[in-house]
Structure 1
Amino acid sequence: MEYSSSGAQSAATDQAVPGSPSSSAPSPTTVTLHISGRVTSENEHVRMGAFHTLDIEPNRDVRIEKIEGWDSIALSRVQESCVPGRGAEVGAIVCGEGTAAFCLLSQHLTIITHRLSVPIPRKASAPGTSQYEKAMTKFYTMVYDAFVRHIPFANPNLRAIVFASPGWIRDTVYSTMINEAGKRNDKLLAKSLREKGLKVHVSSAHVHSLVEVLKSPEIMAQLKETKFAREGIVLDK
């Protein structure tokens, strides 16, 4: 079995920030799964015993049957692998000054559920810093609303909620969300943030910095018993 992801990464994980030149023309996805094996049942297309390769790709129907039928465990694994966010064990917000990417990480997938980009004026802009503060306040409000919509914080399978940034933004985002949850009397969100919330420093606000997040001691300790972490250990070995 061979997996080819040519063009897939840019389409799935490098979605352009609104307003950037590349946002108008998303890259085409050319993901292909090549499955090779010996034919065990003769048919009109290939002779029995011959080796054959089947290509599975997007927008091309394929039917897979099991003689004994599909049990609930097998179906659950298929759903976790192909339903966005299903089985996610980590929710993450990678923040910058006016930017945020909301992600769900499961055993098989990393899904970017939403992106935010808010223009932030320079601190030195006239008059003083008022325009800067207003823009950042708007940004924090948008982060809160997007978090509630796109991160399933109440899901018991979600073991950690990561706030990551290269500077102080993660601390302010986290504290703002805690305060806002209190103002809105959202006790479930406040509890989830306190019990699952982790603040992690990363070198950049790019979503690829999640690689650093997952290797941080805080996250490894929080996820040491999850499927996600066990698979990561095996891959590292």
Structure 2
Amino acid sequence: MKLVGNKKIVLDKPGTVKIIPEEPDDLWSLYNLIVPGDTITTTSSRKIHHDSGKITGAARVKLSLEIKITSVDYDKVSSTVRVQGKNVTANEHVATGSFHTLTLEKNKEFVLTKKVWDSVAFDTLREGCNVSSSADLAVVLMQQGLANVFLVGKRVTTLCAKINGSSNNKFFENVFGAFVKHVDFNTIRCVVIGSPGSVKDEFRRFILSEAQRLKLKSIEDNKSRIVVANISQRNTHDLNEVLNDNAVLSMIKDTKVVPEIRVFKEFLDVLKSNSDRACYGSKSVETAHEMLAIETLLITDDLFRNAEIEMRHKYVGLVKSVKKAGGKVFVFSSIHVSGEELAKLTGIGAILRFPLPDLDEMDM
């Protein structure tokens, strides 16, 4: 995500920025950044009907619109954000107060204005502008005749291709085609091929053989980045098993997704082995923080998109307060592999500095 111009925003103050999203991850960041009450200015087009007496017709006109946001939606398939709101600046084609829907997409410039840039919005923008925010891990999950190719970034996990086939050679050719199309070693740091049995090893040999035959230097020069992992038969669609394997975590340690995976794994381990030093659920976490017990806070980004402004402010304040007390905070994407698992546990949890055995009773 790129900022245009020299305008700087100030924490907890109003401000305006001009943004160009460049990657699919950027659109997810924008979905978490834009909230009802914000204002967006960008170009759009509208079909305008005209009647000049004898001739009637319609033409699509390009115009600049400034709308005050009432709702925000994200389309995972197309990696676009749709915002709806009321037009606040009149022009000859669109009346003030009329509703309009705008689509934000890659490489389309727009201007965002907020009444207050709180700490979560400030951090979301800063992290989104980090040039290393795109996916840097590829995962191919396979079994005989079926393969799924994923790209995994810090915030978004994308299923890029799903391949079915019966003939082994033809099947491998099709998976290899998807591999070449989606895996760019200029950004991908590691590729994990996971399968039960020997399929993963056979496919890795096929990749290297085809790369040599076709003189694909990008693959030949990066063959050490292509690793294999064993998975169970039932999990060829699920990234959780392969990404939570300690051996795999060691192999992908330099990718951006690992810190969140590691801390969520630690949270689950503590929850199982020493449950008095971990908690989840809003009330339990808030009570633990009142006692300054939170060492690490885990929270999903969808909690900041709560329809009630007071609830959004509550979670923003909690994050800010935990950091101020010396705790670490990890914000998980709700469409990421670890974020989806955290969401099943209310979307908020904490690893504690010291045991709180009676925390459940304190909540009552």
Q: Determine if the alignment matches structure 1 residue 60 to structure 2 residue 83.
A: yes
* Cα displacement string for residues 83-135 of structure 1 (whole angstroms, at most 9, x for unaligned residues): xxx611210111111111110011111100111111x2xxxxxxxxxxxxxx1
**Aligned equivalents of 1:96 and 1:205: distance in 2?**
10
**What letter corresponds to residue 173 of structure 1 in structure 2?**
F
Q: Deviations over 1:155-206 (max 9, x none)?
A: 2x422101111121111110011111111111221222x2211111111365
Corresponding residue number in structure 2 for 1:228: 257
Matches within 5 A, 1:139-150: 139-150=171-182
- Higher CA-based Rg: 2
* Cα-Cα RMSD: 3.8
TM-score calculated relative to the size of structure 1:
0.59
Q: Measure, in 1, the Cα distance between the counterparts of 2:197 and 2:142.
A: 9
Structure 2 regions of 5+ residues with no counterpart? Answer: 1-30, 38-69, 75-81, 85-101, 103-110, 268-364
- Aligned partners of 1:159 and 1:218: how far apart in 2? 16
Q: Summarize deviations over 1:12-49 as a string: whole Å, max 9, x none.
A: xxxxxxxxxxxxxxxxxxxx97x999x9xxxxxxxxxx
Rate the CA distance shift 1:137–1:205 in 2: closer, same or farther, 3 A.
Answer: farther
Match of 2:201 among 151, 167, 171: 171
Whole-angstrom distance in 2 between the partners of 1:205 and 1:166? 9
Q: CA deviation at 1:55?
A: 4.4
Aligned equivalent of 2:168: 136
**Aligned residue runs from structure 1 range 102-141, under 5 A:** 102-118=149-165, 120=166, 135-141=167-173
Q: Does 1:218 align with 2:218?
A: no
Note the C-alpha offset of 1:223.
2.9
Question: 4+ residue stretches of structure 1 with deviation over 6 A?
Answer: 67-71
Structure with the bigger RCO (C-alpha within 8 Å, sep 6+) is 1
Q: Could you say if the C-alpha distance between residues 136 and 208 of structure 1 is closer, same or farther in structure 2, counting changes exceeding 3 Å? A: closer
The offset of 1:220, in angstroms, is 1.2
Give, in whole Å, the separation in 1 of the partners of 2:180 and 2:146.
17
Partner of 2:96: none
Alignment: residue pair count: 170
CA contact (8 A) 1:159 1:196 kept: yes
Q: Is the 8 A contact 2:149 2:160 kept in 1?
A: yes
Does residue 160 (structure 1) correspond to residue 211 (structure 2)? The answer is no
Normalising by structure 2, what TM-score?
0.40
Cα contact 1:94–1:205 (8 A) shared by 2: no
Deviation at 1:227, TM superposition (A): 2.8
Q: Give yes or no for contact 2:193–2:227 (8 Å, CA) kept in 1.
A: yes
How many angstroms does 1:78 deviate by?
Answer: 6.4
- Counterpart in 1 of 2:144? 97
**8 A contact 1:102–1:151 mirrored in 2:** no
Give yes or no for contact 2:143–2:236 (8 Å, CA) kept in 1.
no
CA contact (8 A) 1:107 1:227 kept: yes
1:200 aligns with 2:247: no
Find the aligned partners of 1:188 and 1:225 in 2 and give their Cα distance. Answer: 19
Residues 89 and 105 of structure 1 are in contact (CA less than 8 Å); yes or no, is this contact kept in structure 2? Answer: yes
CA distance change for structure 1 residues 68 and 208 in 2, over 3 Å: closer, same or farther? same
Equivalent residues in 2 for 1:20-31, closer than 5 Å: none
1:197 and 1:218, CA in 2 relative to 1: closer, same or farther beyond 3 A? farther
